[in-house]
Chains A and B, each alone.
Chain A
Amino acid sequence: MKYVDEFRDGELARGLAVAIARDADHRERYRFMEFCGGHTHAISRYGLVDLLPGRIQMIHGPGCPVCVLPIGRIDQAIRLAREHRVILATYADTMRVPASDRLTLLRAKALGADVRMIYSTEDALAIARANPRREVVFLAIGFETTTPPTAVAVLRAAEASLGNFSILCNHVLTPAAMHAILDAPQGVAIDGFVGPAHVSTVIGSAPYEPFALDYGKPVVIAGFEPLDLLRAIHLLVRQVNEGRAAVENEFTRAVTREGNRRAQTLVDRVFERRAAFEWRGLGTIPASALQLRAEFASFDAERRFAVPYVPVPDNKACACGEILRGEKRPEECRIFGTACTPESPIGSCMVSSEGACAAHYTYGRFRGAAA
């Protein structure tokens, strides 16, 4: 496959791995957080850990939209579908996230709620057009990558006066979460970040500059292919060795310093920052998520229906919080692989294929267990 195979070349990968192993000798440990779930998934799927020297430890960050969604937000979606009888349109990832009362969207659907899996916001609009007598709510989730399509959907709905369409907005912001991780009172054991791929195509590389300047943490933005990741890790090792902290961009084929201005303008037109938003694992973070501007209030499901947000504590045994903050590894959670599996997840990190626990369970658990 053109433009993909080049970035999965085994020989080049082994060459890079040798270079990384050669250079990673200035200290005992190099701890890098890949913020983004797409990277977590790629590391596991391609078995990259086997190519890295033991001194390099990859910490899986919270960049998985499903994983950071608190239970209360899924509860709202379920209540919209069950109590307000709306058609709830959602990306497939959210279907199995455990909510209150042993419910998931999948189970709610089985109990008669009208929950429909969609692939794009355009599908949600199509459902609204086809069902003019029904209320259609799109469960909007994701970081900066999925926000522009939601903005476009809202603008289209506004232009077409599509009165039966609204969104339950859960769009969150990457830099805010990185700040929260670095500001943790207990401190963090992270020597640098692999910066997100797709998110950075939208926001550009500039928003990461404070992490290098103010916190002294190197950031290297990387594409999602295995060679991208290896190259980024090599660049991080070099920065650490040289005592530098800068934002470097490995993913120059798609990411600029400014990012996608057009997408940013669309998002700005439709959304504004929420005062605060609760993240699973990271707690309530000020100005870390988006809501619709007053002008678009009629498309805001939270204003349209009586579904107030009710915070729900996570299952006590679940270590998703510590895992999302990089304090624990999935296999260190005591219910990992026993009570909590991808078939019956307790924590959200076990749900999405981008979640740290699901990726480790699905691809890497042979490493932990004795043969």
Chain B
Amino acid sequence: MSAPHARPLDLKHGLVDLTHGSGGRAMAQLIRELFVRELANEYLAQGDDGARLDHAAGRLVVATDAHVVSPLFFPGGDIGCLSVHGTINDVAVMGARPLYLAASFVLEEGFPLAELARIVASMGRASREAGVPVVTGDTKVVERGKADGVFITTTGVGALRDGIDCSGANARPGDAVLLSGAIGEHGMAIMACREHLAFDAPIVSDTAALHGLIDALLHAAPGMHAMRDPTRGGVGATLNEIAQQSGVGIEIDEAAIPVRAPVEAACELLGLDPLYVANEGRLLAICPAADADAALRALRGHPLGAGAAVIGRVIEDPRRFVQMRTRLGGRRIVDWLHGDQLPRIC
């Protein structure tokens, strides 16, 4: 690493400037005094361009996710912990145990170092809590106006469990569809922030790492067919992806889908459908009907799955429609999302 710096990084009043990305001393200082300190682990401490990792036997899973959420800080989290949870979840829903993360930052010139420090500290906390270290990273700085504060891309590596074959293509007619808890909380927390909506009980993002919950679930139901975290586009979009990939139809029951009152009210106010609102700590799981009871018990036995429910089933349908029985007793399609998307929620 580079020589010690005369003055420490000014994490109180300092601003990101172009030298923080130029490969010189300022960049080295930022990496050492902020990133390495907050994300501390043996791999990062090596200070090399990449990380040497212990080789995991068997198959690996890799997933990557770019995070551009606005605002950067929201009730229940921030872009830092979100970027850790999001990628861990993408690896975990494949049926793998997440092992390592890599992170790259695009910083906008003028971004306060104090805010960057909060974000990186939050990443460090999330990564320690999850037991998944950030082993390598990269930082770039762009001119003011060419980015929005900070963008974070994380990549995760995980070891696939033996005997687990989870894929969006594996849903079969007769399978049960399970959901781990109330929907729409992340998306509406962000929207409430942006639109300055105040509620008696504020809506808090559900952002969380799901690998512990998935561990318990796969233990109880190793014959799991498909898992996915319904992020952008919400449960509606994710069910359509699975129906498309598996060549099946899916039927859900509106009355069985948990939605908390503040989320429902905020959606009503803004004309949104909670089925299409993003989640960052919820799991959709599809398993053979015979395993549904065990799977539901396992989900409910974990703190992140206390509100779990069976919300529907997979049916034969060459048109691959997701249909919903409404509370009124009518039926309708739950289509792919078009149009009213919420920009930059994750």
Contacts and interface: CB of A to CB of B under 8 A. Distances in A.
Partners in one complex: yes
A277 interface: no
Interface residues of B, number: 24
B328 A8 contact: yes
A47 B255 CA distance: 14
Given A1-B264, A1-B268, A362-B333, A48 B328 contact: yes
B59 interface: no
Given A366-B321, A371-B319, A226 B328 contact: yes
A343 B323 CA distance: 20
A369 interface: yes
Given A10-B327, A92-B340, A343-B338, A44 B319 contact: no
A96 B341 CA distance: 12
A102 B333 CA distance: 30
Nearest to A369: B319
Interface string B239-278: 0000000000000000100000100110010000100000
Contacts of B19: none
B268 A4 contact: yes
Among B261, B273, B317, B339, find the residue whose CB has the most chain A CB atoms closer than 10 A: B339
A163 interface: no
A173 B319 CA distance: 41
Contacts of B273: 45
Interface of B: 195, 255, 261, 264-265, 268, 273, 317, 319, 321, 323, 325-333, 335, 338-340
A50 B330 contact: yes
B332 A353 contact: no
Contacts of A343: 338
Contacts of B331: 47, 50, 366
Contact of A342 (B323, B328, B339): B339
Given A1-B261, A8-B327, A342-B338, A363 B332 contact: yes
25 contacts: A1-B261, A8-B327, A10-B329, A13-B328, A17-B329, A44-B332, A45-B273, A46-B326, A47-B325, A47-B326, A47-B328, A47-B329, A47-B331, A50-B330, A50-B331, A51-B329, A92-B340, A342-B338, A353-B339, A353-B340, A362-B335, A363-B333, A363-B335, A366-B323, A369-B319
A364 B327 contact: no
Given A10-B255, A47-B329, 6 more contacts: A10-B329, A13-B329, A47-B331, A342-B335, A363-B332, A371-B319
Contacts of B338: 342-343, 362
A46 B331 CA distance: 7
A166 B339 CA distance: 27
A49 interface: yes
A63 B9 CA distance: 60
A305 interface: no
B331 to A, nearest CB: 5
Contacts of A13: 328-329
Contacts of B255: 10
Contact of A1 (B265, B327, B328): B265
Q: Which of A8, A10, A119 has the most CB of B within 10 A?
A: A10
A269 interface: no
A44 B334 CA distance: 11
Nearest to A14: B329
Q: Interface size class for chain A?
A: 20 to 34
B268 to A, nearest CB: 6
A353 B321 CA distance: 19
Interface string A348-371: 000101000000011111100101
A51 B332 CA distance: 12
A365 B149 CA distance: 43
A49 B255 CA distance: 19
Contact of A96 (B321, B323, B327, B339): B339
A206 B329 CA distance: 35
Interface string A13-41: 11001000000000000000000000000
A371 B317 contact: yes
Contacts of A49: 330
Nearest to A360: B333
Interface in A101-120: 119
B262 to A, nearest CB: 9
Across chains A and B, which 6 residue pairs bring their CB atoms closest together, nearest first?
A47-B330, A50-B330, A342-B338, A363-B332, A47-B332, A13-B328
Given A1-B261, A371-B319, A51 B328 contact: yes
Nearest to A344: B338
Contacts of A362: 333, 335, 338
B139 to A, nearest CB: 29
Given A1-B264, A8-B328, A46-B326, A366 B333 contact: yes
Contact of B330 (A51, A96, A351, A371): A51
Contacts of B323: 366
Given A366-B319, A366-B323, A50 B329 contact: yes
Contacts of A365: 333
A233 to B, nearest CB: 13
A4 B265 CA distance: 9
Contacts of A45: 273, 326, 332
B268 A46 contact: no
A348 to B, nearest CB: 13
A369 B323 CA distance: 14
B264 A46 contact: no
A363 B323 CA distance: 9
Given A1-B264, A353-B340, A366-B321, A10 B328 contact: yes
